[in-house]
A and B are shown apart, each in its own frame.
Chain A
């Protein structure tokens, strides 16, 4: 905790509950990591890219994902010119034995990056230094290293000496911490960086986005979901904007839970996928009687309902009631001790780069979940 404080991270407790718990860790074998997490992550990411490729030419898919039509062409162009992307996090239910099952892909604004990429790594180094863990203990974690490499390439191919602006909304220490961590990696990659709150972004006469000094914004890392931006006042300026956005517009396809039924439709029976359907479709028998209802656009477990034979088993309240829903076969998280455990598998650029584990007392993990480090041993 003191370490997190000294590094400027104030979000180790949320609502008084510990967010970082250094008393415990999860232990994996190398083959569990490589075969059960790393390989599926790489494969599913490629499957997702295949779906983006399909979606950009399919009005029907864009409609299913509830993406406003004024943005379709922006997404299409962003994909065709290969706008760079940096990161995403796949959440898996994994019990160490059976195949990991994909819950969702947070491909636009994933959280817990700093804890996974840096703090967890530092934790292991210290545990080894203090001889609390054997020197040959390892961890699946090249997240920060890959991130800096991706940022070096971003500078080389896209930005040059132009500044990269980092932005998040006012009022969340956690979001600010995440953005500052990202900015740190960008500085290490040699980028010129700026910060601006999402609320402070301006628009000029030519319809270009500006900073507080009336300078146009050449590139913007936004810790703010695409679907919010699209529904807000300045959304209409996005199609004609010259700003290079990170994550790019095409990520709006992947960060949408509609990608889950689309994946199931295209790759039905894949061992790492759960049967999923759009709510307004007729579901297949493989959905079963116990399933989870999730909004197309939601974050941090909000508005998720677990249904069994038509009855509500569990419900997480939240503000996301205005998008469509998907249904996903219920595959409960494994419980270790009294904790429900979710494995977050990081994709940096196009590579599986490490994992971070969160646990919660409830079957639906929320943004208040505890972060638990992991090691590889044996």
Chain B
């Protein structure tokens, strides 16, 4: 074979652009299987659980990894895959992860991402990053790369000026070559 056996795209056409620079993540997140386990844990209220679960579900439908066949999907995600209207297959959402945003003092605002079960029984994100060791729920220390924000942000500075690059783009259109 002179070609790859499997290829996929994970963000093109589905993910919004992350236009840089946000608060530093704590490295901790809340992971739950469903609204009931979230509410039972008591860290956030049931109504927040429900609201965040719904947000995760919407995100799941929008951005879950897509596969051409069920068997390809189940190679990556062991807990079953579903066919969607486009004819493609997506993994079944098995949980959701909440992470406090901003000051994190009140936890009033969360970033939420849908979770799936990957091989080995680990919770994984749609981009197949492993969330933590095992199938743990509640407060977990998460691998920083699964969070949508950088673990070590580049340094805060003060910009003196912009538009020092790109001046020739208008004149020359698209390049490449």
Contact = CB atoms under 8 A, between A and B. Distances in A.
B17 A7 contact: no
B174 interface: yes
Interface residues of A, number: 90
B105 interface: no
Interface in B119-177: 127-129, 144-145, 150-177
Given A161-B152, A218-B154, A212 B176 contact: no
B147 to A, nearest CB: 9
B3 A231 contact: no
Given A198-B165, A233-B167, A300-B175, A162 B150 contact: yes
A171 interface: yes
Kindly name the residue among B157, B162, B163, B167 whose own CB sees the greatest number of chain A CB atoms within 10 A.
Answer: B157
A336 to B, nearest CB: 21
Kindly name the residue among B2, B129, B158, B173 whose own CB sees the greatest number of chain A CB atoms within 10 A.
Answer: B2
Contacts of A281: none
A194 B168 contact: no
A139 B3 contact: yes
Contact of B165 (A206, A218, A232): A232
B12 A194 contact: no
B174 A217 contact: no
A33 B3 CA distance: 12
Sort chain B's interface into a size bin. Answer: 35 or more
B159 A203 contact: yes
Contacts of B8: 188
Interface string B1-14: 11110011111111
A91 B1 CA distance: 23
A44 interface: no
B84 interface: no
Contacts of B47: none
A223 B20 contact: no
A196 interface: yes
Contact of B3 (A109, A124, A195, A232): A124
B177 A161 contact: no
A314 interface: no
A110 B177 contact: yes
A98 interface: no
B23 to A, nearest CB: 11
A121 B1 CA distance: 12
B13 A178 contact: no
Contacts of B175: 109, 111, 224-225, 299-300
B177 A121 contact: no
A125 B68 contact: yes
A237 B159 CA distance: 13
Contacts of B166: 169-170, 197-199, 201, 224, 232
Interface in B7-31: 7-14, 17-22
A148 to B, nearest CB: 9
A371 to B, nearest CB: 13
A181 B10 CA distance: 9
Contacts of B172: 228, 299, 319-320
Kindly name the residue among B18, B19, B162, B175 whose own CB sees the greatest number of chain A CB atoms within 10 A.
Answer: B175
B11 A300 contact: no
Contact of B20 (A124, A165, A180): A165
A365 to B, nearest CB: 11
A205 B158 CA distance: 7
A211 B68 CA distance: 37
A25 B35 CA distance: 51
A8 B19 contact: no
Interface in A326-353: none
A8 B17 CA distance: 13
A7 B68 contact: no
B7 A196 contact: no
Interface string A291-327: 0000000111000000000000000000110000000
19 contacts: A7-B12, A8-B13, A125-B68, A142-B3, A161-B144, A172-B169, A175-B174, A178-B176, A184-B12, A202-B164, A214-B157, A224-B165, A224-B169, A228-B165, A229-B165, A232-B164, A298-B177, A299-B175, A354-B2
Given A178-B176, A190-B145, A204-B158, 9 more contacts: A8-B13, A161-B152, A181-B12, A183-B11, A203-B159, A216-B154, A299-B176, A319-B171, A367-B176
Q: Which 8 pairs show the lowest CB-CB distances between chains A and B?
A: A213-B21, A111-B176, A8-B13, A234-B164, A202-B159, A169-B169, A199-B166, A299-B175
Interface of B: 1-4, 7-14, 17-22, 68, 86, 127-129, 144-145, 150-177
Interface of A: 6-9, 30, 33, 89, 104, 106, 108-112, 118, 121-122, 124-125, 129, 138-142, 144-145, 160-163, 165, 169-172, 174-175, 178, 180-181, 183-184, 187-188, 190, 192-206, 208, 210-218, 223-225, 228-229, 231-234, 237, 255, 298-300, 319-320, 354, 367, 376
